[in-house]
Structure 1
Amino acid sequence: MLLPEIVQDSYSTSPGLPENEQVCYGMIYQVDVKLSEINMPKLNSKLQQEVQITAAEQILSFTVERKVDHLTIAFSDGVTLGLLSDSMFEALGPIMERESSFFLEGVASKNLLRDRIGKISKSSERKIRMDINLYGSRDTTKKIGDELSLKKVWLQKPDNYKTNFPYTNPHVVKFPEIKHVSAGVTDTRRTLDEKGQLAKQDKIQQIVSDVHVSLQRARELETTSGDRRLQTPLLDHQQRALTFMKQRESGNIPEKYRLWQKSSLEGQEMYIHRVTKTRSTLKPEEMGGGILADDMGMGKSLCLLALLLDTLDEGRQWAQQKHSEEYHNSAIERYSRATLVIVPSALLINNWLQEVRTHLGGALKWIKYHGVTREKDLDVLTDSDLIVTTYQTLCYEFGNKRSKLHKIEWYRVVLDEAHVIRRPSNTFHSTCLELEARSRWCLTGTPIQNRLLDIGALFAFLRADPFHNITQFRRFIVLPFEQGAGVVTDRLVLLYDSLCLRRNKDILCLPGTDERERPLQFSPEEMKQYQSTLRTLQRSMSEKVSQYDKHREFGLFQAQLQLRILCNHGTYQKPFSWKRMMLQIDESLAVGSGTSFEARCDGCEQPKPALVITTNSCGHFFCTSCLEYLEDILKPTDSMPCPRCHYKDAAKCLRTDAIPALNKNHRPHHRDALTRKLYFKDVGISTKMNALVHDVKDRMEEMKSIVFSCWTHTMDLVGRHLERAGIDYLRIDGDTLMSKRQHVLDEFDKDSGSRVLLSEYSPVSMTTGTGAIGLNIPAARRVFILEPQWNPSVENQAIARTTRLNQKEKVLVIRYRIEDTVETEMLSQQKEKRVIAKIAW
């Protein structure tokens, strides 16, 4: 998610500026305009006459007039072009009526307008979009900004506006201590500026929230008891999930939740798709799987194992029938009754197999398909009930044309943490789509993370006709959303209720969490360094005006990250050094947004955190998961080839013992001494570290604690303070081997184990990415959030690791913030996002 523009408090009246000065408040991006009943040739001619040349572009400017119950867009001579949407009238009409100095301006490219108008063929398509600039008095800036915020209308930096009006936007993120240098610092000419992107994310979250509230099917499902061989009794909500899954696999779906509706057209019986209105004379089969999207910790894997056990006989019969059929897919060599489960990491394989032992005992024949010793015989693979592998293994074999798993048609394929394939352009998505199976299932607590297309990628994997073609999802869901059409929510409700089961933890009546804030004040020494850093950052931004590198822009966002880090480290942080600038920023960029700053791994071609390892010889980047996979398939004496150029030049390689993260004797939380020396002073003051240690020690023997931070260096400093206080702790971060992570968690789970666990937010460590998705930390009864995140869902996901089935007591969550710093504003914005979202991610 992109972040709001970070500038000074621009709406405050500066000395020497008249309060009644006319200013430009900003732009509302791409507002819908319904065209008036003017014929298209006449309209094109009118557009040609209205051309205004601005910055070598043909830009048209339109006036906006307020009528009784609507706003009109008009040409300079008063001829009406069209009407603005009702929502715009509701937001802007009262201000236009009240404020005599307030006026609007429509701005659009002549060429884009003519291109859009030329494609209109019927009255229902008579819509265009244009930017709306807002102007008014300087002294009413804050008032108007607040009023627009209540209506969820966000102002952005205008692309074209009357430059004789100073630009003063009330919707920027305000850190008064950071002086605004020049618009060139943050003007990266994005299609949407930062606030606009946030507004779009808020709209997506609101739609998802509305969809969840509107779902009905979960409440109407009956219960189905699990097979008698199931050793763990299913809870009520799990029995209803089993009913849903059996309905989806058999096609025996209640009529009201079928997507193809029986109808009669011109005397002929037809079936019409309720979303796309596609017609079929034959009744389409609605079977073959779906999405189980229950919240984290509700037992999705147990539900899947119960389904597997319940359908063992059907699987055998299906495989036998397929073998006996005369016609076969030429790429398929075997048919198997087995369920193939694909997980994000080797650690999750162990989790699944532990679930099998716990819930099923010896009722299944299973195979762990991972590592150098994995089974290669197709006959052995097909004669099993369950096979568990990783996305990396699947992609590695498929990319090298040696995939055994793609030569088998499976009775069932299951994607665990299925949002891993949410990007249609990545190799995980394309590789999984190539698998053949009778039934397909996606297990994920977040089918929509940041984009509506996320769930479209899952529908494509499910082959849910007609959305097996993802362009259909774009056409009927994504495009209407971008155009502001109100049908998107209703269409998603239809798709969810048919293909997806979504419940949250509220139905379990768990004790939940007790969340508290811990405001802190800097010591005089820390505040002095904070102010000094501000001045240094100001100088940096002054020198960077008009310079922009899309990969390493050191703009206002990065300045804000430096201040956030300083809130954690206090005077332990060495004063800002130009030579160390990029060293400090790299890690901040990786997780500073609350999601991640991603680079593409040259091994698996997946977006990965920027903290990646590169081969010294060829310069390719590859992630920890790929390194660990290669280590699994190589002999100890082998050198490690670059996954990208292994077959081009075998000489370009690394030895596994040359990589600290893969050295079995490497202690990941004892970081390189030189790095620590460059980054930290030996002595210092950190108000936040002192408060954390005090809080951890309080009732430490009664409650185990987990500490979350988004920076590795912060974890180093926490560790130093805990050791100094004599507190034993465990740690998991991006350097912790997959093979070691479960051991750390098992140790923490023991009553006699360490009382404190440190963890990063980093996608390669614990919470949000493929490194440890699905890991649980039920032993922790206290969660310490060291610094606020821009995206509150990141914190929610971390906290959710501690709230699981059978939870007996509330989990105490403590969030720290340093008063009168950037953290205060971040928490304020975070609260607004939580109100908007109201989603249990």
Structure 2
Amino acid sequence: MEEIQVEYEDRRDPVDFFMTLDSWPISPLNEDGVSQSQADTFLVGFVIVNVVGLRFYHGTISGREIVGLVRDELNPHDENAIKVLNMLSEQVGHIERAAASVLSPLIDSRSIAVEGIVPKPPAKGSRFKIPCQIHIFARIEDFERIKMAISRSGLQLISEGNASFTLSEAVAVKETKSILEEKSVDEIFKLLDLKVSKEGLSEPLDPPKEMIKSELFFHQKEGLGWLVSRETSCELPPFWQEKNGVYVNELTNYQTVTRPEPLRGGIFADDMGLGKTLTLLSLIAFDKSSLAVNSSSSIGGIADADDDESGEKSKRGRGRKKSDTLGKKRKAEDLGPNRKGKSPAFDNCSSLEPKSTLIVCPPSVFSSWMTQLEDHTIKGTFKVYMYYGERTKDAKELKKYDIVLTTYSTLASDESQDESPIKKIEWRRVILDEAHVIKNANTQQSRAVSNLNAKRRWAITGTPVQNNSYDLYSLVAFLKFEPLSMKSLWNSLIQRPLARGDEKGISRLQVLMATISLRRTKEKGLVGLPSKSIEIHFVDLREEERRVYDQMEEEAKKIVKDYISNESVVRNYTTVLSIIVRLRQICTDLALCPADLRALLPQSQIEDVKNNPKLLQKLLSVLQDGEDFDCPICISQPMDIIITCCAHIFCEPCILKTIKRSKPCCPMCRHPLSESDLFKAPPESQTTSTEGPSSSPSSKVAALLKLLTVSRDPSPSAKSIVFSQFRKMLLLLEEPLKQAGFKVIRLDGSMNAKKRSQVIKDFGVPAPEGPTIMLASLKASNAGINLTAASTVYLLEPWWNPAIEEQAMDRVHRIGQKHDVKVVRLIARDTIDERILQLQEKKRMLAKKAFGRRSQKDQREINRGDLTALMNL
């Protein structure tokens, strides 16, 4: 595969041309992309309006049914239009114009969220309209304003206390109200749970040895069995039942005579380092082998597809030798396990079926896939194409390949191009590697992958829940898991109960995950990995550090408290973020901070920041050394950083495209923007690796040097990795470590993928020739690389998303590790460091509960209260 070496530096991720402002997250404090108000909304009441225009659309409603309400602001006839969709996302009609003119401005300003239910089937002969209940949700503090706005418009709002309120069909009103044959929502989930429990795990499978040369661990064989059983399932999707020839969805009551397609795919969420990539390659190989058997030909039949229309063999063809080798096939009945009455593996396939698998991953993971292909597959087994950088525009060319590798950003940039070959192909399967990349369902990347046409869909991630249960919604939407891929239903059945600490939300989420996902953890000893221990090493700040920290924290508290009380945290987000970053940097090393700390803290409200370009520049300089924040538009680390007059940070290409819209404004706070309101990042710090700290090492650096020296004495050749979120810190560490006699190498986000690969290769060289210390930035090292040469990990500062830390740790603790792994977390005592640990634990508990089978106590979603905790208010 030497011919497929490419440069992975391209990180273009332009703004989606159809991404409207109302679909962007309003609050950057929620990393999950859900506005803060959405998690804290409650039912105000409901209005009864008509769905009109039924005769113009193909979508139908056959009974009592939940419907989707979608703003249609580009509608040429009505700028307030609200589309009504049935459970299959087919348009049924529009909300009548008078009602839409009242509700749309409130929706656009994010004052309300709406959910629709058609309480009765259309009357016979009704071709023009059908009544619909629209349930309105808002924050409690906005109730009176919303009620007044609706009542002034002439719409009748039926709220609690009104005699008609009991007519509401909303789950939020009556969780146990009869939906179908007296079954409540939770009874439906319980029946699904029983069904999943009875089925158990699929039997293990061996991949075809003529394609996969490596022996799989038992848990990988079990995983392969599960993947195959999911892809070949002929069962009805979850929540569907057949009743006298009619298929009924129990959650929405949608009815159809057409049998729903099986849900072929799911979430493969094994812990990091358990060999998911090899298991997936085994699935592709198993499928390819089965295709050959079922088409009564050898794999040479697939090779024939490489002939172009003139009959000339593709230059990349492998010839007939491979075909002869793979012609010795096992019998069809040997290809699958005892599948409990299900159809034999892939027996529904034909030679006309699509054969190409699309694998989507971050650029840093490309090299991992290529390495795995070389290490685990027989040469010539798969034809692989890298759809990246300079790439073909011919869909027929792509169809010749077994595997097409691409990146999320490439798909996003192709989304607006109608002629993109990726969009023209019906893929046999789409695999999203590091699928947590699409945790925000509103981003361009998420939309691009969801719009792909595929027979089978897989979301692969060792950290499916990073911040919030809403991370899982984007995966469910990608899988096309109807009806929970309808956002309003997800919010109603899962998100709101979770936000309020209702155990029903957790139990439903657990059943859902048990139904569509497979997750095994290292704690179960599946592969006999060496142990991993995590210890916290508390560090007491020196007198000078403590004085500066306490002074900074006291001033910061006053400012953040004002923002919270004035409901202006969102508008002041960058200021708040810079305060938190500064506090964290002081805990690590005063050398990270400029002398004029006070100048970073505005003495009054945000208006001073808007009119103070010098302060904006300082805020930006605080943030650019770190790697802790993403551009809210492309959800990537900003490149060519811009800060707006309202103190929000974006990539330059993203924000420039945004302000070319008809109503240019900030995606975060809606403040009007023009190019004159944008400020470029100051020149990057000129700190080099030869400049050590200006004074004696900080408390944390001194503690780190002592720990490294003590561990070196008994084992001079042992390797360690020191993680920091601040690139400047990595530079500051190089000189004192070298002076202490360590051979050091650095890996950070400023390096392209080729350079990173070389650094990792150099780190693998045994000591004394090779380095013993790698200084690595957290985000540059949290995905797609193998660092098993090291056995000790040091985390210089905590990051509030524990999944990022765990991903970085598991670059070391994974298959291939021969030594026990020790992780040391350096925590500054009595500082924001300790409070971040508490925040991490909350997130970790939510992730565990999502995949647990029982919930022991309420678990509230993470919300703006975390900011109060972080600032010790």
Task: Report if TM-score (shorter chain) is over 0.5.
Answer: yes
Instruction: Write the distance in 2 (CA, Å) between the matches of 1:468 and 1:834.
Output: 25
Q: Root-mean-square deviation (CA), in Å? A: 4.9
Partner of 2:204: 223
Deviations 1:271-291 (A, max 9, x none): 444554544555433143222
Partner of 1:736: 751
Partner of 1:750: 765
2:162 matches 1:116? no
Q: How does 1:211-290 map to 2 (within 5 A)?
A: 216=197, 220-229=201-210, 230-252=212-234, 259-260=238-239, 262=241, 268=244, 271-273=247-249, 275-281=251-257, 283-290=259-266
1:673 aligned residue (681, 686, 689): 686
Change over 3 Å in CA distance of 1:833–1:459 after alignment to 2: closer
Structure 1 residue ranges without an equivalent (≥5): 5-27, 35-105, 130-210, 324-333, 628-640, 647-657, 662-670, 768-772
Change over 3 Å in CA distance of 1:484–1:614 after alignment to 2: closer
1:598 aligned residue (625, 630, 652): 630
Structure 1 residue 812, shift from structure 2 partner: 1.0
Deviations 1:310-343 (A, max 9, x none): 11155577999xx9xxxxxxxxxx9741111111
Structure 1 residue 717, shift from structure 2 partner: 1.9
Q: How does 1:316-715 map to 2 (within 5 A)?
A: 336-345=354-363, 347-482=364-499, 486-507=503-524, 508=526, 509-531=528-550, 533=552, 550=570, 552=572, 558-570=578-590, 573-578=593-598, 585-586=619-620, 596-600=628-632, 605-609=633-637, 612-613=640-641, 672-673=685-686, 682-700=694-712, 701-715=716-730
Instruction: Specify the code of the residue in structure 2 equivalent to 1:563.
Output: L
**1:731 touches 1:744 (CA, 8 Å); kept in 2?**
yes
**2:745 touches 2:771 (CA, 8 Å); kept in 1?**
yes
Change over 3 Å in CA distance of 1:539–1:553 after alignment to 2: same
- SS of residue matched to 2:694: coil
Instruction: Specify the code of the residue in structure 1 equivalent to 2:427.
Output: W
Deviations 1:211-236 (A, max 9, x none): 99998489532111111221111211
- TM-score scaled to structure 1, two decimals? 0.61
Deviations 1:745-771 (A, max 9, x none): 121122242111112234xx222xxxx
**2:745 touches 2:763 (CA, 8 Å); kept in 1?**
yes
Instruction: Specify the code of the residue in structure 2 equivalent to 1:569.
Output: D
Change over 3 Å in CA distance of 1:116–1:735 after alignment to 2: farther
- SS of residue matched to 1:698: helix
Partner of 2:85: none
Structure 1 residue 462, shift from structure 2 partner: 2.0
- SS of residue matched to 1:342: strand
Instruction: Write the distance in 1 (CA, Å) between the matches of 2:452 and 2:141.
Output: 49
Instruction: Specify the code of the residue in structure 2 equivalent to 1:359.
Output: H
Q: How does 1:69-80 map to 2 (within 5 A)?
A: none
**2:692 touches 2:735 (CA, 8 Å); kept in 1?**
no
Change over 3 Å in CA distance of 1:108–1:348 after alignment to 2: closer
**1:259 touches 1:494 (CA, 8 Å); kept in 2?**
no
Partner of 2:177: none
Instruction: Specify the code of the residue in structure 2 equivalent to 1:341.
Output: I
Partner of 2:137: none
Instruction: Specify the code of the residue in structure 2 equivalent to 1:294.
Output: D
Structure 1 residue 660, shift from structure 2 partner: 13
Change over 3 Å in CA distance of 1:804–1:623 after alignment to 2: farther
**2:631 touches 2:638 (CA, 8 Å); kept in 1?**
yes
**1:569 touches 1:717 (CA, 8 Å); kept in 2?**
no
Deviations 1:495-519 (A, max 9, x none): 3233221222223253332222222
Change over 3 Å in CA distance of 1:418–1:573 after alignment to 2: closer
Q: How does 1:774-793 map to 2 (within 5 A)?
A: 774-793=784-803
Instruction: Write the distance in 1 (CA, Å) between the matches of 2:575 and 2:530.
Output: 44
**1:272 touches 1:280 (CA, 8 Å); kept in 2?**
yes
Change over 3 Å in CA distance of 1:217–1:775 after alignment to 2: farther
Instruction: Write the distance in 2 (CA, Å) between the matches of 1:463 and 1:365.
Output: 28
- SS of residue matched to 1:607: coil
Instruction: Write the distance in 2 (CA, Å) between the matches of 1:305 and 1:786.
Output: 36
- Find runs of 4+ consecutive structure 1 residues off by over 6 angstroms: 1-4, 28-34, 126-129, 211-215, 316-320, 538-547, 554-557, 619-622, 641-646, 658-661, 674-677
Change over 3 Å in CA distance of 1:447–1:481 after alignment to 2: same
Q: How many residues were matched structurally?
A: 601
Partner of 2:808: 798
Identity of aligned residues (%): 26
Deviations 1:723-755 (A, max 9, x none): 332422222222111221111112112224211
Structure 2 residue ranges without an equivalent (≥5): 1-26, 31-38, 46-139, 148-156, 175-191, 296-300, 306-351, 602-614, 661-679, 852-873
Instruction: Write the distance in 2 (CA, Å) between the matches of 1:795 and 1:623.
Output: 25
Instruction: Write the distance in 1 (CA, Å) between the matches of 2:357 and 2:701.
Output: 48
**2:510 touches 2:849 (CA, 8 Å); kept in 1?**
no
Deviations 1:314-373 (A, max 9, x none): 5577999xx9xxxxxxxxxx974111111111x322221221111112243323324454
Partner of 2:104: none
Instruction: Specify the code of the residue in structure 1 equivalent to 2:429.
Output: R
Instruction: Specify the code of the residue in structure 2 equivalent to 1:406.
Output: K
Looking at secondary structure, tell me which structure has more strand per residue: 1
Structure 1 residue 295, shift from structure 2 partner: 1.2
